[in-house]
Amino acid sequence: MLDRSYVVPWGKRGSISAGAEAAVLTELARDTAPLPAGSRREAFERSFADTVGSRHAISVTSGTVALHLAVRLLGLAPGDEVIATPQTHRATVQPLCDHDVRVRFCDIDPATLNIDPAALEALITPRTRALLLVHYGGCPAEMDTIMALARRHGVVVLEDCAHALGARYRGRSPGSLADLATFSLRNAKNGALPGEGGVITCDRDDWAERLRRLRTADRDTRIARTPPAGAARPGLLPWTARTEPLHRGAPRRPGSDATMPDAVAALGQAQLTGLRAAVDRRRALAARLDEVLTRYPFVTPQSAPAHSEHAYHLYTCFADRQELRDQLVLALDRRGVEIQLRYFPQHLLPQWRHRGHLRGECPAAERSWFDQHLNLPCHPLLTPPQETYLVEALDASLAELNGGPPAPAPLPATACGRY
């Protein structure tokens, strides 16, 4: 891969809480308590549940692990059907490869890139067990309509909120809008941890209990055997009786080792304190980019429903046709703006083509990827000069495509400050 320095780079970290994180790291270095003890993890889970308005938050080691455990909780059986979005990272639908189920990809609304409720109902059959959706880029899906359809047909809805921490839908947060939700806290997300982290949220007590067991290899104490009278060995300390194999519970299902480390959870708690400020910075930059696009009718921004608040994990816009999109990408790249295209339609990846999925199945998602959409940098680690340069570079690139003067040479990275 070509290594180059961009004036306006893609985000490597999704949020800023440097002072809070430094204080936590100092505290951890001085603390003599065992780091896996769990008190910080429990505090982080309570804070996360309060943040999204969910009854339970179960932290795990990554967003991918969260998706795998959530899908496992669905209890899918051979012959079941699951509806999923094609407009997402492969991790959203990858857990379904482990199950003998039929996946039906639902096309997207071309303005939001979320599942199109108008296309959803036709895919529901008596065998449909679950729906997997995302809030693409932090733009909330039209959840009232989707949940009404799901309730009518007895379908469980799992929302992948990897992009949506800090978003709002009719005054509520993603993570509390469906039956079950997962979050990724990987480094580039809105609530970023140093490396990896994930959370599953739900309101059902029985689901939360099972998820806590699935994330560990703990025994199921509900079926622990009662030791016979006189089984305790004399002369040993009282706690040694619990180590006898006869006294252990018998596991009913396989577990894992996916518990979030206490130190990582402490850093997650610090990140939550800076979440609102980081999302506000994303929204302010997005508003400046939107204002530029209003001057050029051949490019439009992703539109969020009027009753929602976009979290802008991604800033997405659409060109009228492929030629314009490709020219815009090249014009911005020449000016030192790093561009991304996210994501390739899932139903066209090899693992899903192998299961019979073909081009033409989700025409709106395909048209978006191949012809229209691009993602601009939008994250709180950009400096004010970098933000201004991005806005001006976008304006100049669009003016060039609109018949304006040729692109000037890009400024060196030092002109805007190092990233």
The answer to whether residues 84 and 59 belong to one domain is yes
The answer to whether residues 257 and 292 belong to one domain is no
Residue 183 and residue 49: Cα distance in Å, rounded?
12
The answer to whether residues 362 and 391 belong to one domain is yes
The answer to whether residues 258 and 282 belong to one domain is no
The answer to whether residues 166 and 301 belong to one domain is no
Residue 191: inside a domain, yes or no? yes
- pLDDT category at 231 given cuts 50, 70, 90 is low
The answer to whether residues 142 and 46 belong to one domain is yes
pLDDT at 107: 98
Give the total number of structural domains in the chain.
Answer: 2
Residue 141: inside a domain, yes or no? yes
The answer to whether residues 310 and 293 belong to one domain is yes
pLDDT at 1: 39
Please state, rounded to an integer, the average pLDDT across all residues of the chain: 88
The answer to whether residues 289 and 378 belong to one domain is yes
The answer to whether residues 215 and 306 belong to one domain is no
Strand order of the β-sheet with 102-105 is 56-60, 198-202, 180-184, 156-160, 128-134, 81-84, 102-105
Both tokens of 160, joined, read 């992948």
What domain range is 363 assigned to? 275-402
CB distance 107 to 120 below 8 Å: no
Both tokens of 270, joined, read 């610090």
Catalytic residue annotation: 189
pLDDT tens digit sequence for 267-294: 889 889 889 999 999 999 999 999 999 9
The answer to whether residues 106 and 160 belong to one domain is yes
CATH code of the domain containing 280: 3.90.1150.10
Say yes or no to pLDDT of 4 above 70.
no
pLDDT tens digit sequence for 362-383: 999 999 999 999 999 999 999 9
CATH code of the domain containing 121: 3.40.640.10
pLDDT at 218: 60
pTM over 0.85: yes
The answer to whether residues 173 and 279 belong to one domain is no
pLDDT tens digit sequence for 121-163: 999 999 999 999 999 999 999 999 999 999 999 999 999 999 9
pLDDT at 414: 46
Residue 192 and residue 267: Cα distance in Å, rounded?
9
The answer to whether residues 260 and 311 belong to one domain is no
Residue 390: inside a domain, yes or no? yes
- pLDDT category at 418 given cuts 50, 70, 90 is very low
